[in-house]
Structure 1
Amino acid sequence: MRVVLTGGGTGGHIYPALAIARQVTDAEPGSELLYIGSNRGLERELAAKEQIPFEAIEISGFRRSLSWENVRTILRFVRGVRRSKQLLRRFQPDIVVGTGGYVCGPVVYAAVKLGIPTVLHEQNVIPGLTNAFLSRYADLVAVSFPESSNNFPRAKRVLYTGNPRASQVVHADGARGLESLGMRLAADEKLVIVMGGSRGAKAINDSMIEMAPLIAAQPSGLKFVFITGQPYFESTMSKIREQLDAWPEALKVVPYVHNMPEVLAAASLIVSRSGASSLAEITALGLPSILIPSPNVTNNHQEANARWLEREGAAKVILERDLDGRTLYDAVCRIADDAIRFEHMSRMSKKLGKPDAAEAIYEAMCGLIRGQNF
């Protein structure tokens, strides 16, 4: 199979594309891949780590207010479509897969104009601007949440597949995750992972600083791994030390985790933002979660994601404006110490998970290439 992948800006768009790439090469060794992105996002770096050839186009996003910059964006889009057609004619893909972000627009649009089968993947409940625009042209829109289907009224076909990131965590080795952290868990202990995204989140960090004395005073039974994000690590460590007479064995603070699937596989409970990739991983593992949506995202989509899990009984949502150390600590304890609630949330989380998401998308791609009528 020859596949062009496109999607960029943040990891939330790029990691699903890379998960699809991995599924394709696992299913069909010898497949050829090309990633088309921009030089502004993380996609060049992340594609290189996966040894996927990369080509760049220049593109920018529309501003939501009237601006002359939008005229320049239209011109960049036209040039981006022209450049994308050149790349697609040269590579001759069987299919083009877009996972959102502005760079996805001209690439998928060019593929449609050239008659190449196209798949979009939408990670969030509320679709991004680019995927909403492209959905009327693409052959298939794959969605991570069943509620998303109603948000693509002009799509030819919408398929609920889940997020392909989920497929990467289900086979991860939790024992290796614990070993990488230098931790051991007794049979009756639960591991709580607290994270704010790859670069961290100040509000979550501040609440964890306030939580540290509560963790130090707690009875045994819970251990915490707190992932600060590299930019916040030194200052956060300093502030936590100021709160403590002695460092508690139950608390591990790290700036970043490179083997996140393995660490998540060792967890009992997750405290996290509610980005789509994180929720895919959490539900694939059947983990209860406390979700703190970022208020600084387009269309407030993280709260929409989080509320879906909460309605289904898999998560507790705490808005950032209501967050502090005591509130978060009490929420953790109420879930971890209540065996019936913990088991119910675990079961509902697992029910929502789509661990075969990458395979489902791959099978849909194969069907489109074979010309199957969905």
Structure 2
Amino acid sequence: MTTKADRPLNIAIAAGGTAGHVNPALALAEELRERGHHVCFFGQTRRLEGRLVPEAGFDFFPVEVTGFNRTRPWTLVTALVHVAHEQRRLVKAFRADSSLRPDVVVGFGAYVELPLVRAAHQLGIPVALHEQNSVPGLANKTSAKGAALIAIAQPSVREVFLAAGARDEVVRFTGNPVRRSVLVGDRTHGRAAEGVGEDETLLLVFGGSLGARHLNERMAGLKKQLLDLPGLRVVHSTGAADFEATKAALALDDAEAARWDVRPYIDGMGDMLAAADLVLSRAGASTIAEIAALAAPSVLVPYPLATADHQTTNARYLVDAGAAVMFADKDIDDDAFSTELVSLLEDPARRAAMRTAARGLGQDRAAEALADAVEGLVSQD
């Protein structure tokens, strides 16, 4: 594995709260570990990172912080007190134990990054930030001014960070890292697991870990039209919360159920994305990254209540590249949506062109690009 560093590095990563923060951080960590570096995560034991990070085999240093709720401004005081306390604790720990002191600190946007980032600034340790979303969060915007690197997954985010005080030369597009367990997705294996033949067309539908009720309802309404398409197979992940209601609405008989696999969630997303001929999904940052990394043609329906409508901006990244089409949530009940969905399912040449466009984005190399940039902070130091 090539590396820009002339020695093994000690790299500290802060990521937490949601899979959208934690999984890209783990993807970077996997790449850095493969290059011979030591990676330690800083996060909260009671949040998702407290489970996923140890499962992935990385050291975990607990940090205790509280979030700031904009609807309750007084929570800012408590949040800042916790950040300051943890910052002092980390500075003390790094000074006392040289093996713990990082060469580089990387924050992935959750507020748990603030004590680590501020401790690094205090000790003169270079700081890198990664922003997965098209609308940066408060933690990354707050940390932008002193960062040596701001890696972005959406080109449109550059101007936001410049307005927050970042230097132009430190903002770099790297894409959003995807974990190797997804990147190694295999089309043959995925289709064999579902019993899908190469002469059949596989539509993969999912709406995120909690599902997407409107998408699920619309799919139920399109059941007859879709199953009238010869050779169509559907894998439909409803989300756990909406599984029973969607299953009842679909009311699949045995013959239909043989072609329409409805389930609460999907294990082995890499294989399923590789196996799919077309994906219908929401447009979260991780979803966009994984779809692009596996070069899956897609129909995207951004979640309409996402902060600052950031899923629409996320989706435009693929749409503008020619790798996807997009419909607003309010429009999926219209005939234009079903017409476009059916048209894509019946047009392998158009899907092939979308797949080629997705490959051109290089999203499957995002972890490598980010690791190169992080290593570069030390080689330039």
TM-score by length of 1: 0.90
Partner Cα separation in structure 1 for residue 174 and residue 305 of structure 2 = 27
Partner Cα separation in structure 2 for residue 228 and residue 326 of structure 1 = 22
1:232 to 214, 218, 242: 242
Indicate whether 1:186 and 2:192 are aligned: no
Which residue in 2 is equivalent to 1:220?
230
* 56-65 vs 298-307, greater mean Cα deviation: 56-65
Q: Structure 1 residue 301: deviation in Å?
A: 1.1
Indicate whether 1:3 and 2:50 are aligned: no
Counterpart of 1:352, as a letter, is L
Which residue in 2 is equivalent to 1:165?
178
Could you say what secondary structure the match of 1:135 adopts? helix
Q: Is the 8 A contact 1:210 1:324 kept in 2?
A: no
Which residue in 2 is equivalent to 1:198?
209
Alpha-carbon displacement from aligned partner over 1:303-336 (angstroms, at most 9, x marks no partner): 1111232233222212222233966543321222
Identify if the C-alpha distance between structure 1 residues 353 and 71 changes in structure 2 by more than 3 Å, giving closer, same or farther: same
Q: Is the 8 A contact 2:239 2:265 kept in 1?
A: yes
Partner Cα separation in structure 2 for residue 220 and residue 101 of structure 1 = 46
Which residue in 1 is equivalent to 2:266?
257
Alpha-carbon displacement from aligned partner over 1:51-96 (angstroms, at most 9, x marks no partner): 2222222223333346212222222221232233344444112211
Which residue in 1 is equivalent to 2:356?
347
Which residue in 2 is equivalent to 1:209?
220
Could you say what secondary structure the match of 1:225 adopts? strand
Which residue in 2 is equivalent to 1:72?
78
> After the TM superposition, which residues 138-149 of structure 1 pair with which residues of structure 2 at under 5 Å, given as runs?
138-149=147-158
Gaps of 5+ in 1: none
Which residue in 1 is equivalent to 2:110?
101
Which residue in 1 is equivalent to 2:278?
269
Partner Cα separation in structure 2 for residue 329 and residue 86 of structure 1 = 60
Alpha-carbon displacement from aligned partner over 1:209-228 (angstroms, at most 9, x marks no partner): 22223333x13132211011
Indicate whether 1:22 and 2:30 are aligned: yes
Identify if the C-alpha distance between structure 1 residues 26 and 71 changes in structure 2 by more than 3 Å, giving closer, same or farther: same
Q: Is the 8 A contact 2:45 2:51 kept in 1?
A: no
Q: Structure 1 residue 244: deviation in Å?
A: 5.3
Alpha-carbon displacement from aligned partner over 1:195-234 (angstroms, at most 9, x marks no partner): 1112322222222222223333x13132211011223223
Which residue in 2 is equivalent to 1:43?
49
> After the TM superposition, which residues 236-247 of structure 1 pair with which residues of structure 2 at under 5 Å, given as runs?
236-241=246-251, 246-247=255-256
Which residue in 1 is equivalent to 2:6?
none
Counterpart of 1:178, as a letter, is R
Partner Cα separation in structure 1 for residue 141 and residue 132 of structure 2 = 12
Could you say what secondary structure the match of 1:8 adopts? coil
Question: How many residues are aligned here?
Answer: 366
Q: Structure 1 residue 295: deviation in Å?
A: 2.4
Partner Cα separation in structure 1 for residue 179 and residue 363 of structure 2 = 7
Identify if the C-alpha distance between structure 1 residues 245 and 165 changes in structure 2 by more than 3 Å, giving closer, same or farther: closer
Partner Cα separation in structure 2 for residue 213 and residue 325 of structure 1 = 16
Counterpart of 1:60, as a letter, is T
Which residue in 2 is equivalent to 1:317?
326
Q: Structure 1 residue 42: deviation in Å?
A: 0.9
Could you say what secondary structure the match of 2:31 adopts? helix
Gaps of 5+ in 2: 1-8
Q: Is the 8 A contact 1:210 1:325 kept in 2?
A: no
Which residue in 2 is equivalent to 1:367?
376
Identify if the C-alpha distance between structure 1 residues 355 and 9 changes in structure 2 by more than 3 Å, giving closer, same or farther: same
Counterpart of 2:224, as a letter, is P
Partner Cα separation in structure 2 for residue 276 and residue 82 of structure 1 = 33
Identify if the C-alpha distance between structure 1 residues 52 and 326 changes in structure 2 by more than 3 Å, giving closer, same or farther: farther
Alpha-carbon RMSD across the aligned residues, in angstroms, is: 2.2
Could you say what secondary structure the match of 1:270 adopts? strand
Could you say what secondary structure the match of 2:42 adopts? strand
Over the matched positions of the two proteins, sequence identity in percent amounts to 36
Could you say what secondary structure the match of 2:128 adopts? strand
Partner Cα separation in structure 2 for residue 341 and residue 262 of structure 1 = 22
Counterpart of 2:223, as a letter, is A
Indicate whether 1:52 and 2:58 are aligned: yes
Q: Structure 1 residue 47: deviation in Å?
A: 0.7
Q: Is the 8 A contact 1:269 1:287 kept in 2?
A: yes
Identify if the C-alpha distance between structure 1 residues 127 and 140 changes in structure 2 by more than 3 Å, giving closer, same or farther: same
Q: Is the 8 A contact 1:119 1:142 kept in 2?
A: yes
1:82 to 79, 82, 88: 88
